[in-house]
Structure 1
Amino acid sequence: MQRFVNTKRIRAFAAIGVLATAAVSAPQVRADNVTDAMIGAYTSSGLLEQNRALLRVADEGVAATVARLRPVISTALSISRDYNRTGLGSLGASSDHRTGAALSLSMNWLLFDNGASRLDTAAAQETVLATRQTLLDVEQQVLFSAVQAYVNVLTQQDIVSLRSNNLRLLQEELRAANDRFEVGEVTRTDVALAESQVAEARANLTDARGDLLTARATYEEVVGRAPGTVTSYPPLPRRASSLQTAQALALRSHPSLRAQQHAVKAAQLTADSSLRDMGPTVNLSASASHGEVRGNDTRTDNFDIGVSLNQTIYAGGSLAAARRADLARLDAERGALISTQRSISSNTASAYTAFETAAASLVSSNERVRAAQVAFNGVREEATLGSRTTLDVLQAEQELLDAQTARLSARATQALAAYDLLQSQGLLTAENLSLAVERYDPEIYYNQVRSAPAFVTKRGQDLDRVLKALGKN
């Protein structure tokens, strides 16, 4: 037994020497933590870019409704050439050639539409607010995906380390079994059992390395770059003191609930607007034109201005159908609001319970690992004295491996449950986490376009340059 222990120590010191030499000679690799992963995902996410663009679309919806209450001015230029021939033959025939041109300018201005356009503007503003909250919810999804990718890489790394260590121990057991077989202490069956376990351990290590490569590829997809050195589990964020507190916070701050509340307001305003569409409209129209005909030197000038009152008396029932459809959409949004509230409460409860369960599971897993380690050490020592079989040692080693793997799973589950709880409460945002990123400010673009600037204005030209710089035009 003493000879075996000394051999193990020699191998351990040799391994330490190799690792130390590799650490000195290897180039320095940038270390990653979960904050780095979230920052990378926030700054490189195509999903965030997509939804920011959709928010700008909603911003332009406000500008479009504002423009309805402004005059529409248009111009037209026409040029015509007339050719007339009368009579027959070369003596009595005559021809006439005329070239005419006309330039016109017209304006149409909606002065009154019973308030429908202003309600549409208010509805578009509520849609903007809803879209902003949807963008926050997408931001939460992106950041949680980064946490998942980080934890998965770390867990798969630890599993590879466990599998490697398990293979090393089983190879030692195989060597010990061969030594004992040579002196007649064990049978060929014990050696075959050890060989079988070594082969299985090699296969499991290969699978674990494949899973690690997959996890690193997923990390690169989510974060936008390959992971550096991932060595520590993310710190657990502070959680609510009770389930009721967590649910109350979620119902106050979750972006999906706020988005749905704004969607209900937008639907209500749209339904009110459809009722106003049944009322009268007042339009101001004006036009001016100038025409010239070359050939008889005729010039004409014309200017018209007028105010018209329009009232739809009967439209085949289309206005009433539009009104009923808007009321139905309002009911649908209200139903979705109820479903969203219940879903948020349920998700928060599930996340809170999952965190509590994972914490308890981690405590149990730690105790299981401690007991399995003690049992393995004892069985292995007893095997060197001949009171335990090779099968006993292999079973104890497998139990220790299973316990260590379960502990890794419990630790990863606890970390993910903690961040899932943040997400379920609407708190997994760059602002709430104080991430060192340049946060996207939705107010900037909205303030530029809400007054509906045209291309010919200075603000419109500034916007055009911004869009060209961003590559969005």
Structure 2
Amino acid sequence: MLQKLQKAVHVGALALSVSFGTVQVAASQTLADAMAMAYEHNGLLDQNRALLRAADEDVAIALSALRPIISWSGSVDYSYGRVRTPSFLGPVTNISRTPDAQIGLSASLLVFDGGAARLAGEAAKESVLATRQGLISVEQTVLLSTVQSFMEVVANREIVELRQNNLRLLERELQAAQDRFEVGEVTRTDVSLAEARLAGARAQLAAAQGDFAASQEFYAATVGTRPGNLVAPRSLPRTAKSIEDAKAVAIRSHPDMIQVQHFIAATELNVDGARAALNPSISLNGGLSVTHEFGANAFQEGASVGVSVNAPIYQGGRLSALIRKAMAQRDQQLANLHITRHSIRQQAGTSWSRLLAAGAQIQASARQVEAARIAFEGVREEAKLGARTTLDVLTAEQDLLDAEADRISAQATQIIAAYALLSSMGQLTVDQLNLKVTRYDPEAYYNLVKDAPVLKSKQGAQLDKLLKAIGKE
């Protein structure tokens, strides 16, 4: 049974040329072209790339805690005061009217904190890796939406053409029924049946045109431009050889699975970091200050160097609560790994089954179309000889129309199912599909910011150029 279904998949792929084989022109657009445009212009990808850059900055923020913190301060003060002698009407004496200015420079360096800052940096790096996998997951969503919108446009376009051809045929059938009524070969009922079926065909054509217009809007929203002359793929992408292979690849390489694993690593580090907060912290501190009194033309200079030690004794249970919270978040991600694993296996199995079912449906539809066409042509010839009624002809024609429409839908469904299977396996990416696009490099920005460069440094200038290049300042 499995071999028959697999054969049906390949037969269905070859049958694509039967319905989708339209005339190609220079402006023809393939599915690969559409996916490439969606990858380069989809706003959802831009949004998640920005989220990834924000996660990259968290690594730099965590690293900054291990570096010296240097700051300056300045002030200008003007003091004025008066004093009266103890006597009742004693004179009032001015104390000071002298302005002075002060400027200072301070620096501190964390020497030891039990590893809390280092662990925070490692957790931030794991979060970056998880966010990268999230970006790949979004990439798969965008590409699969592109496949769906592309095939809906192609299928709906074919159905509109099918409905238009059927409408023209029914118009001829109505004219034939009216001519036969005039010579007394059929009754008025036969003419009314033809008129009713023609009105129904017009309604079906209007519905098909509405679906076609809606699918074009879906395509434009996904790809970023309205569809041109779309050419359906002639073959299916390479997927798995069996359902078990599909599930095994999915568990190993699906971005959602890898993302949860990185989240688990991050939460483990957060637990260790929360425990490290119970340790004392040691910092080196230093400072320089200069005070100048303008009126007296005097100044004062000072410098200090010291070591400070801080250790928690009691904070109302806050630190213990933070440890328990980190442990609960870790347990949440561990449970999420279990859920994600089963979900991915289910998606892979479901996608595999739908792909095989679509192939079998195409094979059956092809036989149905062939049989319905033979039946329609035979009934129409018999009707000319008076052996069949107008109703028989219209019914046979509707059966043929329904069979052809089902085949068109099944062919589109098969292609969508094949790419959905790739998505469930974690392989619907521009790298796996080898699309001709300028790939977004997630490491380019990370490598520039991971060392926490300052704005005026050479590396900071490179960052400015990069941000301008991607249109984000």
TM-score between both structures, scaled by the size of structure 2: 0.92
In 1, distance between residues paired with 2:201 and 2:341?
49
In 1, distance between residues paired with 2:318 and 2:162?
70
In 1, distance between residues paired with 2:199 and 2:112?
84
Aligned equivalent of 1:44: 41
Aligned equivalent of 2:61: 64
Per-residue CA deviation, residues 324-366 of structure 1 (Å, 9 max, x unaligned), is 0000000000000110110000000000000011100110000
Letter of the structure 2 residue corresponding to residue 103 of structure 1: I
Per-residue CA deviation, residues 50-74 of structure 1 (Å, 9 max, x unaligned), is 0000000110010011000111111
Letter of the structure 1 residue corresponding to residue 291 of structure 2: G
TM-aligned CA distance change 1:309 to 1:94, over 3 Å? closer
Gaps of 5+ in 2: 1-22
Determine helix, strand or coil for the equivalent of 1:109: strand
Aligned equivalent of 1:13: none
Gaps of 5+ in 1: 1-22
Aligned equivalent of 1:277: 277
Aligned equivalent of 2:97: 97
The answer to whether 1:290 aligns with 2:290 is yes
Q: CA deviation at 1:209?
A: 1.0
Per-residue CA deviation, residues 254-302 of structure 1 (Å, 9 max, x unaligned), is 1110011000000001111101111111011111100011222331111
Q: CA deviation at 1:412?
A: 1.1
CA contact (8 A) 2:31 2:231 kept: no
In 2, distance between residues paired with 1:340 and 1:28?
45
Letter of the structure 1 residue corresponding to residue 300 of structure 2: T
User: How many residues of Structure 1 are paired with residues of Structure 2 in the alignment?
Assistant: 447
Map of 1:196-207 to 2, 5 A cutoff? 196-207=196-207
Aligned equivalent of 1:170: 170
**More displaced 10-residue stretch of structure 1: 150-159 or 205-214:** 205-214
Determine helix, strand or coil for the equivalent of 2:98: strand
CA contact (8 A) 1:38 1:147 kept: yes
The answer to whether 1:80 aligns with 2:74 is no
**More displaced 10-residue stretch of structure 1: 230-239 or 257-266:** 230-239
CA contact (8 A) 1:29 1:229 kept: no
Map of 1:219-368 to 2, 5 A cutoff? 219-233=219-233, 235-368=235-368
Q: CA deviation at 1:249?
A: 0.8
Q: CA deviation at 1:206?
A: 1.3
Letter of the structure 2 residue corresponding to residue 76 of structure 1: S
CA RMSD of aligned residues (A): 1.7
Q: CA deviation at 1:234?
A: 5.5
In 1, distance between residues paired with 2:60 and 2:286?
24
Determine helix, strand or coil for the equivalent of 2:293: strand
The answer to whether 1:53 aligns with 2:50 is yes
CA contact (8 A) 2:217 2:226 kept: yes
In 2, distance between residues paired with 1:462 and 1:100?
43
Q: CA deviation at 1:235?
A: 2.6
Q: CA deviation at 1:463?
A: 1.2
In 2, distance between residues paired with 1:93 and 1:319?
57
CA contact (8 A) 2:177 2:191 kept: yes
In 2, distance between residues paired with 1:328 and 1:63?
26
Letter of the structure 1 residue corresponding to residue 472 of structure 2: K
In 2, distance between residues paired with 1:93 and 1:312?
52
**More displaced 10-residue stretch of structure 1: 220-229 or 345-354:** 220-229
Determine helix, strand or coil for the equivalent of 1:80: strand
In 1, distance between residues paired with 2:121 and 2:326?
16
Map of 1:80-159 to 2, 5 A cutoff? 80-86=77-83, 94-95=93-94, 96-159=96-159
In 1, distance between residues paired with 2:470 and 2:117?
32
CA contact (8 A) 1:29 1:228 kept: no
Per-residue CA deviation, residues 168-197 of structure 1 (Å, 9 max, x unaligned), is 111111111011111111000000100111
In 2, distance between residues paired with 1:154 and 1:52?
31
Determine helix, strand or coil for the equivalent of 2:240: coil
In 1, distance between residues paired with 2:338 and 2:83?
81
Aligned equivalent of 1:472: 472
Q: CA deviation at 1:233?
A: 3.9
Per-residue CA deviation, residues 26-82 of structure 1 (Å, 9 max, x unaligned), is x96721110111011001010000000000011001001100011111111100112
Determine helix, strand or coil for the equivalent of 1:435: coil
Letter of the structure 2 residue corresponding to residue 368 of structure 1: Q
In 1, distance between residues paired with 2:212 and 2:141?
23
In 2, distance between residues paired with 1:29 and 1:192?
46
Per-residue CA deviation, residues 412-467 of structure 1 (Å, 9 max, x unaligned), is 11111100000000010000100000000111111000001111322113212332
In 2, distance between residues paired with 1:233 and 1:444?
34
Aligned equivalent of 2:395: 395
TM-aligned CA distance change 1:220 to 1:236, over 3 Å? same
CA contact (8 A) 2:146 2:223 kept: yes
CA contact (8 A) 1:154 1:233 kept: no
In 2, distance between residues paired with 1:439 and 1:395?
54
CA contact (8 A) 2:243 2:349 kept: yes
TM-aligned CA distance change 1:362 to 1:190, over 3 Å? same
Letter of the structure 2 residue corresponding to residue 200 of structure 1: G
**More displaced 10-residue stretch of structure 1: 294-303 or 280-289:** 294-303
Aligned equivalent of 1:9: none
Q: CA deviation at 1:87?
A: 5.7
Determine helix, strand or coil for the equivalent of 2:79: strand
Aligned equivalent of 2:20: none
Q: CA deviation at 1:468?
A: 3.5
TM-aligned CA distance change 1:367 to 1:233, over 3 Å? same
**More displaced 10-residue stretch of structure 1: 402-411 or 225-234:** 225-234
Aligned equivalent of 1:18: none
Q: CA deviation at 1:214?
A: 1.1
In 1, distance between residues paired with 2:234 and 2:195?
39
